[in-house]
Amino acid sequence: MLNPRTLIIEVVPQTQRRWTPVIGSETLALLERLPIPEESRYLVRDEAVALLARCAPPTHAGIETCLAIGYIQSGKTMSFTTLTALARDNEYQIVIVITGTSIPLFDRGCPVHS
């Protein structure tokens, strides 16, 4: 039996997609405003689609979390902004983004830190 404070983390392979997100007006409008070359916009878009496709679809009736982690100066802000626009296009009800130093969260009893 698992300890109630145990957190199980399952790494979903990059090639495994659970569904196909729709690229809608929110995502397209955001990508159009990004100050990067057009070919880079396609890469940002495709990476966001690949990440969201590995998460539970918005119609999934369950409790599930999808987590993405990035290196310093790796384009995380552009990535999570695009991912959030894509989530809106696909009718997700909520997206939570935790940025910066999140050590105080661990001090509140996060099972990973315990």
Give residue 70's domain range: 25-106
**30 falls within a domain:** yes
**69 falls within a domain:** yes
**20 falls within a domain:** no
**113 falls within a domain:** no
Pick the residue with more confidence: 4 or 53? Answer: 53
* Arithmetic mean of pLDDT, 13-24: 87
CA distance 113 to 107: 8
pLDDT tens-digit series, residues 37-60:
999 999 999 999 999 998 889 998
* Arithmetic mean of pLDDT, 11-32: 89
